[in-house]
Amino acid sequence: MAGLTGFRRAPFEALVVWQCVSLAGVVAALAVAPAAVASTALPRWATVAALVFSAAMLARVLWAGHRVGTRLRSERRRHRQLVDALGTHDSRAASLAGGEVRVLAHPTPTAYCLPGRRHRVVLTEGALLALPADELAAVLAHERAHLRARHDLVLEFFAVLHEAVPQRLRAVGALREVRLLVEVLADRAARRVAGPVPLARALVSLAGGSHPDTALGVVDGDQARAPSGSATRDRMLLLTEPDPHPALRGVMLAFAVVVLATPVVLLAVALG
């Protein structure tokens, strides 16, 4: 599914599809045990194996959720404290961002946000010098979209499932695609505020910057280094794409519902 680049034209619906596909996999894994118990045709050893499999999957999901959530919140808290200690307040940028903005004394143009209840938008002095007013407005609108939509929780959900799956079965391409879709969503919000041209120019200006893995930035360095090519280039191409047709959105959402409902219906039939 990561190769279906046409889904990027409808990033919200594509994320819903990815979430439903992931949840369907988890539900299917957890449903093995009750389905086996309800079946009278399976030998005892097969029922025990199904119970062990489902219990192991549940334990992996819970443990991954604890590990990922604890790590992300701890690292963001430490980074926020560091930014507050080293950065300065910028009232002009704060008014555009609709929240706290800290400026770090660094020449490389960089912009990112630290999500959470005490969120921060972080800029470098290099970014303020490199970006004219319209491009700065586009960047801050992008970060504001991340914070308002809580894209960090979406990425955390996928990070938990990614870590819960055995390493040999992990789909790195799928996780990279989800990250790209989140950035495209924020790009759409910034495009509505500042237009596609200022945002595209800002993406180029910030292409050399980086940010912590626990933050959300205008330019994602991990994506830019993807073997399939530059995610920044893909995002710039998508800036000129019109909004998807409502029919496409409807088909994608209907597909997501069918995918998620399938293991639930099969389990209900097995138990019935």
Summarised one tens digit per residue, pLDDT across range 199-237 is: 999 999 998 777 888 788 777 655 444 444 467 888 888
More confident residue, 179 or 30: 179
Q: Reply yes or no on whether the pLDDT at 178 is more than 60.
A: yes
Q: Can you name the residues that pair with 216 across neighbouring β-strands?
A: 113
Is 270 contained in some domain? no
User: CA angle 207-212-217, nearest 5°?
Assistant: 45
Residue 1 has pLDDT above 80, yes or no: no
Mean pLDDT, rounded, for 132-154: 94
* Percent above pLDDT 90 for the chain: 52
Mean pLDDT of all residues in 150-166: 92
The pLDDT, as a whole number, for residue 212 is 80
H or E element that contains 93: helix 91-97
The CA-atom distances, in angstroms, between 255 and each of 15, 245, 261, 269 are 12, 16, 10, 21
Tens-digit pLDDT profile for residues 66-107: 999 999 999 999 999 999 999 988 877 777 777 788 999 999
**Residues with Cβ within 8 Å of residue 76, at least 6 apart in sequence:** 114, 115, 116, 214, 215
Residue 267 inside a domain? The answer is no
The pTM for the full model equals 0.86
Q: What is the pLDDT of residue 221?
A: 52
3 within a domain of the structure (yes/no):
no
Q: Is residue 268 part of a domain?
A: no
Q: Is residue 43 part of a domain?
A: yes
Is position 120 within any domain? yes
Task: Using DSSP bridges, classify how beta strands 111-114 and 120-124 pair: parallel, antiparallel or unpaired.
Answer: antiparallel
Q: Is residue 272 part of a domain?
A: no
Q: Sign of the CA dihedral 174, 178, 179, 181? A: positive
State residue 145 phi and psi, 5-degree precision: -65, -40
Angle between helices 11-38 and 172-194 (to 10 degrees): 150
* Number of domains making up the chain: 1
pLDDT band for 127, please (50, 70, 90 cuts).
very high
Domain that holds residue 138: 20-261
Q: What is the pLDDT of residue 54?
A: 86
Q: Residues of the chain with pLDDT > 70: what percent? A: 91
Model confidence at 3, pLDDT cuts 50, 70, 90, reads low
Token digits of residue 164: 């819960």
pLDDT at residue 270, rounded to an integer? 72
The per-residue pLDDT of the chain, averaged, comes to 86
Establish if 76 belongs to a structural domain.
yes
